[in-house]
Amino acid sequence: MTRSPQKPKTITRHPQNAPLQALIPRATAPTQEPGPDHPHENFDRAARAAVARLSGGVSSYAFLEAWSDWAQHMARAPGRQLELAEHAQRNFMKVFSLATSPTSPPPFAPKPYDHRFKYAGWQKPPFQLWQQSFLAIQDWWDGATEPMRGLSTDDAERTRFLARQTLDILSPSNSPLLNPEIIAETARSVGKNLIEGGAHFTHDAMKTLTGQRDPAPEGYLIGKDLACTQGQVIFRNDLFELIQYAPQTAQVQARPILIVPAWIMKYYILDLSPENSLVRYLVGQGFTVFMISWCNPTVDQRDLSLEDYRKRGVMEALDAVTTVIPDAPVHAVGYCLGGTILAIAAATMARDSDNRLASVTLMAAQVDFAEAGELLLFLDESQIAFLEDLMWEQGYLDRPQMARAFATIRAEDLIWSRAVQRYFLGREDVPTDIGVWLSDTTRMPARMHSQYLRGLFLENRLTAGRFAVEGRVIALKDMSVPMFVIGTETDHIAPWRSVYKTQLFTDGDLTFVLTKSGHNSGILSEPGHKGRHYRISRRPAGALYVGPDAWLAQTEPKPGSWWPDWADWLMARGGGQVNPPPIGAPDSGLAPLASAPGTFVFQP
């Protein structure tokens, strides 16, 4: 049975924080409560926070536990030790054979994502021997960190991750005496590359020490070159600004689109350059688009909670949209962490019989965190407590601390290859729109981040039936609106198999897309982008569940961009064409406040 949308209400701005409500009822409190405070608790927290600042917010407990677990199980597995000894002997003989016969094919190849050895000089002696020796050791450690009987799966994966990080440090590509590209460039420029690299290193070190950031390069200015789709800010509270984009067609679809981006970064990943702006594409297809632009929290906003982001973020934005365009259900779109909070909001709306949504689109967004990738490897009680002490002192998780965590996942490219290019080859970073966005990081308020890590990542409450909003548990299966879910093939933040599990916890009509590339570039897959492909299928309401591997085997890839398929899907549920709505609703307190991209996007 179809219910009519609720009547929109007049918007009231809230300059101060509304009373914060507990997200989790007492009956479902975290599994490990903090111990009772003692007279010198603050002294202890300050000491732990100081250690956390030195370590970049990383606790050593999980590292030590993983190595200890692996070493103890290896010590009582003589057969496994013998196998690894034979493995080492085979690898040594392969490298020795190459040393004695340099023209023979190299026995080891870098991993598909490893670009450190692409330079042609690595295929010539003696550099090829150094490269192959490194890859042989890497291959041995891959075998040594495979799961063992009795060894915790988490500890096996942690040990492999740690071994990879250690080997990345020791790679011959990082040494100016072993890397043929550095040697060749030094000879060609008579050492100028090392002088320029030293200047780059000094510049970057000063940025790290002072916390300053470089201004956007020419041609990548926000509001002029990036985030430049025309529109107006029609609503603002202390948490977000709401942008309504100007129509570009004579008529528009009756049902508007509300986009909820992640607040871990700024919104304009979805409105980058004009040629790859998802916002511009949707507006050009005849949709009325609204975008949330989150604030960059300061220490004064340390008590912002997940409930604030739902109630005073998503829900107040939805109130504003339905005030501007009444009597039309809204297509809600959530990206990354914004998709998670949108799913929470949509499930709460379904529970409360709030029928203002026409559909829900989740882009690279997880609702289940059991397979959340390498970010989950070291997330345990010790790590969260460590971060909480750091945030207790700062009031937030700072930008460099988050950036390092994401960079470590692909350290060979994001840390070491970049360091070689910048400090030894003396090359400036080539500016790109996505690179400018990646450097424009934000902070995470202490309370919200702690709730997010504990309730979602560590305890996986949302799909375990233990996530409560306003004192009552919500269930994703209550959502009956059509869903469009996108995963990306090489996503290391929201792995596609984890995103795919949305199908396991919902029963309604759901279209799933798996697109080429990673967390950001897979979403930015505009028509005409070369080399792109995607897989798409529809699961009707009530259909049986098909696992991700079986789905992958039976779903053929299609060339091109997934954007047109999504636009067609939205149009089929768009409510027909109407004249464009006004910008804002001045009579209801939604007069235009500023031109897009607004003011929050410029917050340092």
Q: 529: Cβ–Cβ under 8 A, 6 or more apart, which residues?
A: 276, 561
Q: Give alpha helix (H) positions in 145-179.
A: 153-170
Active site residue 295: no
Alpha carbons 229 and 580: distance in angstroms, whole number? 17
Give the closest residue to 427 by CA, choosing from 207, 213, 202, 197. 197
Give the closest residue to 382 by CA, choosing from 162, 37, 59. 59
- Give the Cα-Cα-Cα angle 446, 335, 254 (nearest 5 degrees): 125
Q: 494: Cβ–Cβ under 8 A, 6 or more apart, which residues?
A: 336, 364, 365, 366, 372, 373, 487, 488, 519
Alpha carbons 174 and 166: distance in angstroms, whole number? 12
Q: 242: Cβ–Cβ under 8 A, 6 or more apart, which residues?
A: 233, 234, 235, 236, 290, 291, 292, 293, 317, 320, 321
**Peptide bond between residue 597 and the one before it cis (omega within 30 degrees of 0):** yes
Alpha carbons 130 and 123: distance in angstroms, whole number? 10
CB 251 within 8 A of CB 286: yes
β-pairing, 252-253 with 577-578?
antiparallel
Which of 259, 336, 350, 402 is an active site residue? 336
DSSP code per residue over 474-519: --GGG--S-EEEEEETT-SSS-HHHHHGGGGS--S-EEEEEESS-T
β-pairing, 257-260 with 289-294?
parallel
Alpha carbons 367 and 370: distance in angstroms, whole number? 10
- What are the beta bridge partners of residue 242? 235, 292
Alpha carbons 282 and 472: distance in angstroms, whole number? 36
E strands present in 192-271: 231-236, 240-245, 252-253, 257-260
Alpha carbons 423 and 176: distance in angstroms, whole number? 10
CB 258 within 8 A of CB 318: yes
Q: 188: Cβ–Cβ under 8 A, 6 or more apart, which residues?
A: none
Separation in Å, CA 334 to CA 150, 195, 203, 485 = 40, 46, 37, 10
Helix (H) or strand (E) holding 324: helix 316-324
E strands present in 38-186: none
β-pairing, 240-245 with 510-515?
unpaired
DSSP code per residue over 549-599: HHHHHH---EES-SHHHHHHHHHTTS--EEPPPPSSBGGGTB---EETT-S
Q: How far is C-alpha 476 from the geometric centre of its chain's CA atoms? A: 21
User: Annotated catalytic sites, by residue?
Assistant: 336
